Structure 1
Amino acid sequence: MSTTPQASASPFAVSAEAGRFRVTRPGSANDVIDLVREKYIQIVDLKFTDLPGLWQHFSITLPEVHPDLFDAGIGFDGSSIRGFQEIHESDMLLRPDPATAFVDPVCETPTLSIICDVVDPVLQQPYSRDPRYVARKAENYLRQTGIATTCYVGPELEFFIFDSIRFGQDQHCGFYYVESSEGDWNTGRDEGAYGGGNLGYKQRYKEGYFPVPPHDTLQEIRSEIALTLQQAGVQIEVHHHEVATAGQNEIDMRFATLTRMADNVMIYKYVCKNVARRHGKVATFMPKPLFADNASGMHCHQSLWKDDENLFYEASGWALTSDLCRWYIGGLLQHAPALMAFCAPTTNSYKRLVPGYEAPVNLAMSQRNRSAAARIPMYSNSPGARRVEFRCPDPSANPYLAFAAMLMAGLDGIENRTDPGDPLDRNIYDLSPEEARNIRQVPDSLDAALAALEADNAFLRKGDVFTEDVIQTWIEYKRKREIDSIKLRPHPWEFYLYFDT
């Protein structure tokens, strides 16, 4: 994450010097229409996010693109979208946000993509279960508190690129099979189909950070992803291979304001998946697809600013942080069990959140220590660089809901002056059992995280940011569609453990 937010007040106006490209996003409906003409656009694609966090879309032709589209919106069937409406109340509207328009670098047909807000046509109001609306309400609530004017977020998304993935389960069988030419398990494979023999140079388990090619076979694909993201107006700072074998990667975006960064995360996933597919490979943001190696996280850097002042900086404070920053951390740590329901929202997330593998399971704060849930990066002493890195989230999260929930927890900590406890600047895994017992940990399952959310959600409902309906719909969806369905199915390892009983 970059260190000078004030230098990027408009994160989508990028200079040629910064990246040998220039993207300026439109600000009004007329700007979009002008862009359509300028770029010889033939199709306009309308994108929005369902409640679990996947992009949905449909496309319209140019005669349908006019200023009224951005005010009146365009209809769609909300009952077919996960977490949205029932069949008897299915009619919904999409209202394109002109500030999000970008020439889609994935499509061969000249296409302009626009991210949309969801509107209830009966009430003519934003739809309460639209994740993007939740994020925008969180930013509005921040300003209403008078604490700050802006929340900057800089997530570090990790992901895998595999050569192939096969999986399935029915009444009599269940399996998954991941393949990667980088995988350490393939040192003995006859790779004649890949050019003859075996070329070696596999990534050893937990040693993927940062060998150069030929160990790192994905350098060119990551570069293509980074440049494609920049074409879409998402500024990229760095990319590299990550710790795990078999194609774990990280491409870091420059920070942005909360809702805008959630938009960027959706663009990021879209581009990663489609560029990988161009190369006959598959990208996944599933947190833990491999056993016995590191999983994929989404460490979230956060800071609060009042105009051009970073409120998290204090020259005389611990790790150069202010009281306000430490209270914000206190809120994150206090509400972390409930936050995990949005920040680590899958059953697979909790195969990552176990001790070891750099997993941030301990609810403590530290400077530099990556085994703590909340960390203060110490790369720079600049006032603009002071921020908290919350390490528990993973990239399966809906970014609109996760970023909004973290902000609300931090604000609750500030409002209540919540003490985060003493810094823990030692290796947490080297603590004695007596010392370790005094450190709270994140929940060990999605079920436990949802129970924590049921018991602790008042901080989310402040300012009507998360409505009761959104929280209950989320809990019900996760329990019925994910937790219960996993509980009903035998696991392959159970056959190893129990078949001979």
Structure 2
Amino acid sequence: MDRQQEFVLRTIEERDVRFVRMWFTDVTGTLKSVALAPAEVEGAFEEGLGFDGSSIEGLSRVTESDMLLQPDPSTFQLLPWRGEDQPTARMFCDILTPEGQPSLADPRGVLKRVLEKAAAKGLTCYTAPEIEFYLMKSAALDPQTDEPVPVDGEGYFDHTPGGVVQNFRRDVVLTLEDVGISVEFSHHEAGPGQNEIDLRYADPLQTADNIMTFRTVVKETALAHGSYATFMPKPFAAHPGSGMHTHFSLFEGDTNAFFEAGAEFQLSKIAGHFIAGVLRHSADMAIVTNQFVNSYKRLWSGAEAPSYISWGHNNRSALVRVPLYKPDKVQSARIEYRGLDSAANPYLAYAAIMAAGMKGVEEEYELPPVESDDLASMSAAERHVAGHEPLPASLYDAIRAAENSEFMADLLGEQVFTHLMRNKRADWEAYRKVVTRHELETNLGLI
């Protein structure tokens, strides 16, 4: 038994922990959980915890249903929102086959494999997400507008004395810190009831784990405040969608591999190849960076959401943005991927972005010209001449792009790829049959 496992067992005993929750996700990033009695944790470390994988979306076929959860002791944390009377803790789990081998159906495992390939080349990645979401009065829709009701009418960076969301964000940040997640910024976003909380950088696996914890903390805190939080990409037609812009950087040891003094924008050749890889495969991987029907309402609604494949220096209309260089912060050289929304499965989304960038580095993809103009203000002809192809315009387009992508099939592996595509086709089939309020309002009285 290693030291981390010993620490977990000792903490469980000293803190009188009554329940230990095993956390993992299905292919869409839905959090799954099973509560384990404290006395069973040591056995779970040694042998794993058996469960029926066929009942979880994308994990196994009925004929291969037996799976094992292997708790990761480095992720052990007490859950402060569960109270002190009967302390509850959680650990993220890797999914194993009955033979004890990593399951090819595990989204967390997909990301781990990508990071292991980068590590074999001496590269370490760091990620920092900016997570947006809406706080609503409840999950119910207003019967007159058929829209949710936000908790306030405030806007970007607004600070209203006694504002509902200020106390809410404070409690979220304090709870995140209690579970070991560092926050850099928090503020009101542009939409009514919309908030943004930015997490401190970490490696992609820890970041993905943090995002899953973050979503739970936000929803639990919202309920405690008598409200409802949603990470739906575009809950309002008239207000901005919720993105999850993420900053990426690569390091070789202690050296930032994205930085090169004297180069244009201080970007190294590795950074250029990485960006080129992300751009080339951005349409292919939209199925995981923007996985829902509603995701494309955000991408194609404006409000700084990127609709076209481009990169720019401090250009917030670009899909990939290179933030303003700070001469005294060489280690902070990075890129920002702006196509990701807050509802993505972070394990698969980060695996795709990282793998696309690394493929660009390995094959030395050529970086296209930088775009300094606002892409939304350009004409279709101007965008075409500049080579800015559109991102998928709908989930259907994303499905088609992924179906024809050797990159995505290789990245996800047969099992994850097959189950993900089946799930997304079912989403699209269900959506295409719906008669919307817009159709009734525009057609019923005219046709």
Per the alignment, do residues 426 and 54 of structure 1 end up closer, same or farther by CA in structure 2, a change over 3 Å counting?
Answer: same
Shift, 1:76, TM fit: 1.4
Matched, 1:402 2:376: no
Q: Which residue of 1 aligns with 2:209?
A: 263
Q: Which amino acid aligns with 2:394?
A: S
Per the alignment, do residues 446 and 433 of structure 1 end up closer, same or farther by CA in structure 2, a change over 3 Å counting?
Answer: closer
Q: Which residue of 2 aligns with 1:197?
A: none
Q: Deviations over 1:401-442 (max 9, x none)?
A: 000000110011112221231111122223344322232121
Which structure 2 residues correspond to residues 329-368 of structure 1 after superposition, within 5 A?
A: 329-354=275-300, 356-368=302-314
Structure 2 residue aligned with 1:119, among 96, 105, 124? 96
SS at match of 1:372: coil
Q: Which amino acid aligns with 2:210?
A: N
SS at match of 1:437: helix
Q: Which residue of 1 aligns with 2:334?
A: 387
Aligned counterparts of 1:49 and 1:251: Cα–Cα separation in 2: 22
CA contact (8 A) 2:285 2:408 kept: no
Q: Which residue of 1 aligns with 2:138?
A: 164
Per the alignment, do residues 445 and 253 of structure 1 end up closer, same or farther by CA in structure 2, a change over 3 Å counting?
Answer: same
Q: Which residue of 1 aligns with 2:67?
A: 92
Q: Which amino acid aligns with 1:225?
A: V
Which structure 2 residues correspond to residues 305-454 of structure 1 after superposition, within 5 A?
A: 305-354=251-300, 356-378=302-324, 380-381=326-327, 382-438=329-385, 439-454=388-403
Per the alignment, do residues 103 and 27 of structure 1 end up closer, same or farther by CA in structure 2, a change over 3 Å counting?
Answer: farther
Per the alignment, do residues 65 and 434 of structure 1 end up closer, same or farther by CA in structure 2, a change over 3 Å counting?
Answer: closer
Q: Which residue of 1 aligns with 2:165?
A: 218
SS at match of 1:116: strand
SS at match of 1:125: coil
The alignment's TM-score, normalised by the length of structure 1, stands at 0.84
Aligned counterparts of 1:471 and 1:211: Cα–Cα separation in 2: 43
CA contact (8 A) 1:157 1:297 kept: yes
Shift, 1:137, TM fit: 0.5
SS at match of 2:80: coil
Aligned counterparts of 2:304 and 2:172: Cα–Cα separation in 1: 26
Shift, 1:466, TM fit: 2.2
Q: Which residue of 2 aligns with 1:46?
A: 22
Shift, 1:397, TM fit: 0.6
Per the alignment, do residues 45 and 433 of structure 1 end up closer, same or farther by CA in structure 2, a change over 3 Å counting?
Answer: closer
Structure 2 residue aligned with 1:489, among 420, 434, 438? 434
Aligned counterparts of 2:368 and 2:301: Cα–Cα separation in 1: 21
Q: Deviations over 1:340-379 (max 9, x none)?
A: 1110111100000115211111211111110000001116
Q: Which amino acid aligns with 2:367?
A: P
SS at match of 1:338: coil
Shift, 1:113, TM fit: 0.7
Structure 2 residue aligned with 1:83, among 44, 58, 70? 58
CA contact (8 A) 1:174 1:492 kept: no
Structure 2 residue aligned with 1:151, among 115, 118, 125? 125
CA contact (8 A) 2:284 2:408 kept: no
Q: Which amino acid aligns with 2:33?
A: H
Shift, 1:106, TM fit: 2.1
Unaligned runs of 5+ in 1: 1-25, 183-201
CA contact (8 A) 1:78 1:85 kept: yes
Structure 1 residue aligned with 2:181, among 226, 229, 234? 234
Per the alignment, do residues 93 and 174 of structure 1 end up closer, same or farther by CA in structure 2, a change over 3 Å counting?
Answer: farther
Aligned counterparts of 1:106 and 1:261: Cα–Cα separation in 2: 21
CA contact (8 A) 1:338 1:456 kept: yes
Q: Which amino acid aligns with 1:157?
A: I
CA contact (8 A) 2:135 2:222 kept: yes
Aligned counterparts of 1:63 and 1:215: Cα–Cα separation in 2: 46
Per the alignment, do residues 303 and 319 of structure 1 end up closer, same or farther by CA in structure 2, a change over 3 Å counting?
Answer: same
Q: Which amino acid aligns with 1:125?
A: Q
Shift, 1:167, TM fit: 5.7
Aligned counterparts of 2:418 and 2:32: Cα–Cα separation in 1: 22
Which structure 2 residues correspond to residues 246-257 of structure 1 after superposition, within 5 A?
A: 247-257=193-203
Q: Which amino acid aligns with 2:198?
A: D
SS at match of 1:266: helix
SS at match of 2:82: coil
Q: Deviations over 1:179-235 (max 9, x none)?
A: 1241xxxxxxxxxxxxxxxxxxx33xxxx1111114953011001001101101111
Which structure 2 residues correspond to residues 188-207 of structure 1 after superposition, within 5 A?
A: 202-203=153-154
Which structure 2 residues correspond to residues 451-462 of structure 1 after superposition, within 5 A?
A: 451-458=400-407, 461=410
The alignment's TM-score, normalised by the length of structure 2, stands at 0.94
Per the alignment, do residues 239 and 140 of structure 1 end up closer, same or farther by CA in structure 2, a change over 3 Å counting?
Answer: same
Aligned counterparts of 1:151 and 1:437: Cα–Cα separation in 2: 33
CA contact (8 A) 1:216 1:241 kept: no
Aligned counterparts of 2:414 and 2:64: Cα–Cα separation in 1: 19
Structure 2 residue aligned with 1:178, among 130, 133, 148? 148
Aligned counterparts of 1:384 and 1:339: Cα–Cα separation in 2: 28
Matched, 1:478 2:424: yes
Aligned counterparts of 2:177 and 2:27: Cα–Cα separation in 1: 27
CA contact (8 A) 1:27 1:98 kept: no
Shift, 1:294, TM fit: 0.5
Shift, 1:330, TM fit: 0.4
